[in-house]
Amino acid sequence: MNVLFNPAVTSLLSFLIGLAIIPLIIKLAYFKGWVVYPRSDRWHQKPTALMGGIGIFVSFSLAMLCLNFSAINWMLCSAAGVMFLVGLVDDIWEVKPVIKLLAQIVSSFALVYNGFMFGGGLLGWAGIPLTFIWVIGITNAINLLDNMDGLAAGIAGIVAVISGIIGLLNGEYGLSAMAFAIAGAAGSFLFYNFKPAKIFMGDSGSLFLGFSLSFLSIAVQGKSGSSSAVLVLLIPISLMAIPIMDTTLVIIKRLAAGRRIDQGGKDHTSHRLVNLGLSEKKAVLTLYCISGIWGLLCILIYKAKINDLFLCILMLAVFSVIFSTVLSKVKVYNESEEKLSYMRSKGKKTDTHLMLRFFLYHKKLLIGIFTDILIIYCSFLIAAESMHVTMDNGYVVLATFICVKISLFYVTNLYYRMWRYMEVMEIAGYFMIIAISTLILIITLFFKGKSEMYSSYFFMVDFLLTFIGIVITRLFYRWIAELISRNRHAQKRVIIYGAGDSGYLLIKELLQNHRHELRPVGWIDDDESKHHMLLYGYKIYGGKDQLLDICKKVKPDLVLISTNAIDLPGEDEIKTMLTAQHVGVGRFTLTLSYNLNIAGL
């Protein structure tokens, strides 16, 4: 119980101190004119107090002073203080980027000097330059992440809590106390920073938190109890999944749009979620959830073998890649920049850096190959484990599996199919292609004299797992896009009249084309056998006789007729019925026209 005392005390103290002093800082900020005014490249809509970083740093520092002085690493706390001071000066007078960079390099040296290196010492000399890269990268990533009310503080708090728990599991109680002090400070600031924000942290807060989190994510590697560098590297990357994902997406998309990397803008992960239709709070909470799930994976690494967690790691990695891919398609720049980005992605602009141009043009292919290699690798290992196959030269066979399957997928244009419009026939195509690849592998192993090592059940399990994994990843991409579309806000609510083929086409158009700003909420259909059933996830409430009651219950803004069974007089009758309810009526029609100007016809 005593081991939990210091972390609990520092967390509670920093939280209470922050709650007490931040209102004073808000008053001081307005008195001194430390206020951030709305700008076209910023998200906030009203003047807001700055200098929240003072509250975060002071509450953390006072909480740490309550500990035994011998438990405090003064050099590391001083390095964090340097980052805070540089950010504070930047908030007041502005500092050149090179000064910030020098401060980050000096602070990184403090970590290396104290023996904290990226990789926990398993990477040898390579850990030293990687430490500098990691600290500078994460510090700036948190700075970039501070782009929406409550986002950076919330993510920092989650990462700090997870780091503190890992510190307790490792027996590093001083490290854990520091982590929980940061979590408490971030939590108290979040109380005033969550939408609608009363104060922003500024660079003083983001640079301090960024450096502290980069240190914590390295420090928890030290006693991971593993000799595997891959496992040790998973810990900091998993902890920092959201900052890494956000920074990577922003850098690639800005370069593609012809923008400077350091140019501000509403093009971050959170902004893209809002542009897809989520509210600001839902966007921030979504990123909280993802960060929390990655953090829980870090804790599980200490309680389970890596092989047992491989499926979880795979699923989260694939989810993050698909999630980023969906967000990358959101238009957040002006028309000329979006056009430039599109042209570069199609290889029509040759002024881009070679590597970026290659990635943009082949991004779908590269993402597909990357996820499929993970799926094939995982399927092979699970099949071998479940069928008790000896792994003598197993990795040579695994390499053969990967090469054969990936090559066949590429030759059969598997990577050039549009995942967003995947239907039953597409799934059947995947089934046939994977079955053929399995047959080729059986023949290949037979001629190599290794077929007796692998039973027919092994190939069956490997085939099923590969098929299920590949289909799920494709459907997952579509599910994510639809899930975001279904949670859009501020659009007009629509009931569709006609739960048939035309209505199915209409609801897909409404969900996939955001310019309509219409959100489906249900169906009406005169076929009683369909009543209370679900179509495309939305309930069929009833027919024309119940129309008024349905509108009073669901409160739609518009009824869209998609069936030809309702003629013009019937449409006028519906309009008359809904006039008193202030519900509009519209119609969805499909037209087809063509002209055969062929000789002889």
Give this prediction's pTM: 0.75
Distances (CA, A) of 136 to 75, 116, 129, 354, 549: 18, 15, 11, 25, 60
Q: Residue 597 has what pLDDT?
A: 64
Tell me the C-alpha distance between 122 and 599, whole Å.
76
Question: Which residue is listed with tokens 């995942």?
Answer: 419
Q: Residue 308 has what pLDDT?
A: 58
Q: Give the phi and the psi of residue 366 in degrees, each rounded to 5.
A: -65, -45
Spatial contact of 202 and 51, defined as CB atoms under 8 Å apart:
yes
Pairing of strands 534-535, 35-36: unpaired
Q: Residue 299 has what pLDDT?
A: 83
Q: Give the phi and the psi of residue 432 in degrees, each rounded to 5.
A: -65, -45
Q: Residue 600 has what pLDDT?
A: 52
Q: Residue 418: helix, strand or coil by DSSP?
A: coil
| Angle, CA 75 vertex, CA 70 and CA 80 arms, to 5° | 115
Count of other CB atoms within 10 angstroms of residue 339: 13
Burial of 387 per CB tally in 10 Å (0-12, 13-18, 19+)? middle
Question: DSSP E strands: which ranges in 412-457?
Answer: none
Write out the two tokens for 388.
């008790």
Mean pLDDT per 10-residue segment, the chain (601 residues): 70 92 92 80 74 92 77 77 92 86 89 80 74 90 88 93 87 85 94 89 92 88 56 80 90 80 80 82 91 87 64 75 80 73 63 62 76 83 77 71 86 76 76 88 76 76 88 78 66 86 85 78 88 86 88 88 86 85 86 67 49
Q: Residue 185 has what pLDDT?
A: 94
CA count, 13 A, side-chain hemisphere, 450: 15
Helix (H) or strand (E) holding 535: strand 534-535
> 421-429: which pairs have CB atoms within 8 A and are 24 or more residues apart?
421/478, 422/474, 422/475, 422/478, 426/474, 427/471
Q: Residue 181: helix, strand or coil by DSSP?
A: helix
* DSSP secondary structure string for all residues of 326-357: HHHTS--S-HHHHHHHHHHHTT---SS-HHHH
> Domains in the chain and their CATH numbers?
2-345 (no CATH), 365-484 (no CATH), 491-587 (3.40.50.720)
Alpha helices in 66-172 (DSSP H): 74-93, 97-113, 127-145, 151-170
